[in-house]
Amino acid sequence: IKQYFVNQAPWHENAIGAAGWDEVRFKRPVYAGDRISGTFRYLEKTESRSKSDRGIIKFEIILTNQDGEVVLSLLDSVMLKKRNG
């Protein structure tokens, strides 16, 4: 699911790789037949200190089931190439 959302993001072509997950919480079980939906919320960006052509963005991911119950939450960091200009 996470990769699907990343591929939909406007910056996905600049993604270099995952920089880590934090605060991963499995809040409820997910069962066969459940409908899962998710939201991404941008939190911050940080420029690389060692490589001027890249930075890291951090965002929150929350997945919910068909009843609106949170089943997973986490903070995700992705390393990106900077845009030209």
Q: What is the pLDDT of residues 12-60, one digit of tens each?
A: 778 888 888 899 999 999 999 999 999 989 999 999 888 889 999 999 9
- Predicted confidence at residue 1, as pLDDT, reads 65
* Residue bearing tokens 């939201």: 39
CA dihedral 67, 70, 20, 85 (to 10 degrees): 70
- Predicted confidence at residue 67, as pLDDT, reads 98
Q: Is 63 helix (H, G, I), strand (E, B) or coil?
A: strand
pTM value is: 0.77
- Predicted confidence at residue 2, as pLDDT, reads 67
Domains and their CATH numbers in the chain? 2-81 (3.10.129.10)
Please report the DSSP string for 14-43 in residue order: GEEEEEEEEEEEE-S---TT---EEEEEEE
